[in-house]
Structure 1
Amino acid sequence: MIQVVEGDLLDQRADAIVNAWNRNIIPWWLLLPQGVSGAIKRRGGLQPFRELGRVGPMPLGSAVVTSAGRLPYQGIIHVAGINMLWRASERSIRDSARNALARARERSWRSLAFPVIGAGSGGFNEERALSFLLSALEEEAAEFDLTVVRYRQH
């Protein structure tokens, strides 16, 4: 099942959340906290990003799991959804979704909350990004309880 909601990713009940990340090309500590990553840093602390920094550069569309820091999740799946020019593409969105599900499957996580990958810092049109994300998730949604969160401030 896939549900689309409006709100804050960090307020969702799930085994894990997905964070659209910058591929580790720029060290995490040099980046201005923005979007989902900024919210994770503010509420969850720096530990997930320290772990992510040890991974090194991530191929576009790949996914890496870290702890959730102080957040109430079993982990965070960071996906490399944007390229070197801070842009998302249909392929990077689809690959990120598929690889996030693969990491969740490896850990037997059944519920995940996704942001609209590519729509924030990735500069992609939110409706189109949502369409590509949902299409990729629907291919494997049967074994998961998935929530896609369209960010809206309270």
Structure 2
Amino acid sequence: MGKIEITKGDLLDQDVDAIVNAWNRNIIPWWLLLPQGVSGAIKRRGGHAPFRELAKHGAIPLGGAVLTSAGDLPFKAIIHVAGISLWWRSSERSIRDSCRNALALAEEKQFNSIALPLIGAGTGGGSAEAVLDMMRDELTTVSFGGRIIIVQFQKDEWKRNGASRPVPPSQSA
């Protein structure tokens, strides 16, 4: 088992080989969906390529994991997991299976580091605290020798307001 770190920030800003995207198992074509959360950020910053690749795999079984390129993002790959059901809900099983299968894929591809969002929190309906506890517990059981980062999303105020850079405190409104 690798070292597990917990941090607050943006998943897409982590210095890792691969990131995990909590995708749903929806059968609606990717181009008809309006991605939210991590998927939306990947689409905005990384382009459409990862989602085109993902579409070739069809519906992902609940808890399953699929590897794609990272598009224009600086990672070796994105691992998409089906952490929420067709009804947009997560369960303990879907969260644990998603963690286990993502790390198995990362180990198979010999990645040295991976960052995961809180799978099943937010859109999936799980509380951040409960999801973090489940993920931490599950990730201690997997055989991945690399660095594992669980990222609790925290959007900077300046990004939320659409600025291209932080505004010094003296210039804040």
Q: TM-score range by the shorter chain?
A: over 0.9
> Residue 29 of structure 1: CA displacement?
1.1
Answer whether contact 1:16 1:76 (CA < 8 A) is retained: yes
TM-score (norm 2): 0.87
Match of 1:145 among 135, 144, 147: 147
Which whole-Å deviations, capped at 9, do the CAs of 1:90-141 have from their partners, x for residues lacking one? 0000000000011101110020000000002101111001111111111126
Runs (4+) off by over 3 Å? none
- Distance in structure 1 (CA, Å) of the matches to 2:144 and 2:126: 27
Match of 1:106 among 98, 108, 117: 108
- Distance in structure 1 (CA, Å) of the matches to 2:143 and 2:108: 15
Give the number of equivalent residue pairs. 154
Answer whether contact 2:26 2:86 (CA < 8 A) is retained: no
* Partner SS for 1:60: coil
Answer whether contact 1:24 1:56 (CA < 8 A) is retained: no
> Residue 26 of structure 1: CA displacement?
1.8
Tell me the residue number matched to 1:39. Answer: 41
Tell me the residue number matched to 2:159. Answer: none
- Distance in structure 1 (CA, Å) of the matches to 2:44 and 2:89: 24
Q: Give, as a single letter, the amino acid of the residue that structure 2 aligns with 1:137.
A: L
- Distance in structure 1 (CA, Å) of the matches to 2:144 and 2:77: 21
Structure number with greater Rg is 2
* Counterparts in 2 of 1:142 and 1:47: CA distance versus 1, 3 Å: closer
Gap regions ≥5 residues in structure 1: none
* Counterparts in 2 of 1:74 and 1:65: CA distance versus 1, 3 Å: same
Q: Give, as a single letter, the amino acid of the residue that structure 1 aligns with 2:150.
A: V
Gap regions ≥5 residues in structure 2: 157-173
Mapping 1:38-57, distance limit 5 Å: 38-57=40-59
Match of 1:19 among 17, 21, 38: 21
Of all paired residues, the percent bearing the same amino acid is: 60
- Distance in structure 2 (CA, Å) of the matches to 1:147 and 1:117: 13
- Distance in structure 2 (CA, Å) of the matches to 1:139 and 1:35: 27
Between 25-34 and 41-50, the greater mean CA deviation after superposition: 25-34
RMSD between superposed Cα atoms in Å: 1.0
Q: Give, as a single letter, the amino acid of the residue that structure 1 aligns with 2:72.
A: R
- Distance in structure 2 (CA, Å) of the matches to 1:74 and 1:113: 12
